[in-house]
Amino acid sequence: MFRTSRFQCGKKGHGFTLVEILVALFIFALLGLIGTQLVSRVTQQQGQLAERGARLTELQRAMQILKRDFMQIQNRPIRDGLGDLRPSLILADDDGLEFTRLGWRNPLRQSRSDEQRVAYLFDDANNALIRLFWPVLDRAQDSEPIQQVLLTEVDRVELLVISSDGNRFNYWPQVTAGKNGPAAAAIEMRIDAAPFGRIDRIWEVPAVQ
């Protein structure tokens, strides 16, 4: 009897009370909640990083296209659909920036010029920077530009021409007393694009009146 009683007492000493079980369940639940929140936060951060990376890629691509176009500007006026002469480089509030550029690739060896007429406009209705280009230089009345959305989520775009004497102009060309003014030396762009805020870029261009 004595040995049996000691054995039974030992068994009781290895058990758990209801309070201990409840505390253990509470701790496990708390750890599970913390783990779930950590996983959710990491997943959210990864999604934000992926979105930011895609946005940065879009922005870098847009800047590369702008740089390529601006650095190949040519001093080549064109005729519009009415036969009127348009300068090589035009900057106006309503029409945006329009110019002639060299280096239009022709892998299919089509019968066309390697120069291209390009324009940049800010579409404030859709918050987008738009690139236009025409299939021909000297246009017919039915010549229509081809439109490309270059950059989305844009709040503001400001384009300026920097002249050879260092002045900035929001319209171009400059005419002084019936004579041509200074040549264009660079294009400056100020753009507000989420989530990076304001971005300033200046590209040197070939001299164009």
**What CATH superfamily classification does 66-208 receive?**
GSPII I/J protein-like (3.10.610.10)
pLDDT, tens digit, 9 for 90 and up, residues 167-207: 999 999 987 644 667 899 999 999 999 888 999 999 999 87
- Tell me the sheet residues that pair with 151: 129
- Which structure tokens are listed for 77? 């006026």
pLDDT, tens digit, 9 for 90 and up, residues 23-79: 888 888 888 888 888 877 877 767 667 788 889 999 999 999 999 999 999 999 999
pLDDT score of 147? 95
- DSSP secondary structure string for all residues of 117-161: EEEEEEETTTTEEEEEEES-SS--TT---EEEEEE-SEEEEEEEE
pLDDT, tens digit, 9 for 90 and up, residues 133-161: 998 999 998 999 999 999 999 999 999 99
The full set of domain ranges for the chain reads 66-208
pTM: 0.74
Q: Which helix (H) or strand (E) holds 50?
A: helix 18-70
Spatial separation of the C-alpha atoms in residues 61 and 81, rounded to whole Å:
32
Nearest CA among 65, 58, 46 for reference residue 195: 58
b/e burial code for range 164-190 (CB count within 10 A of at least 16 → b)? eeeeeeeebbeeeeeeebbbbbbbebe
Spatial separation of the C-alpha atoms in residues 29 and 38, rounded to whole Å:
14
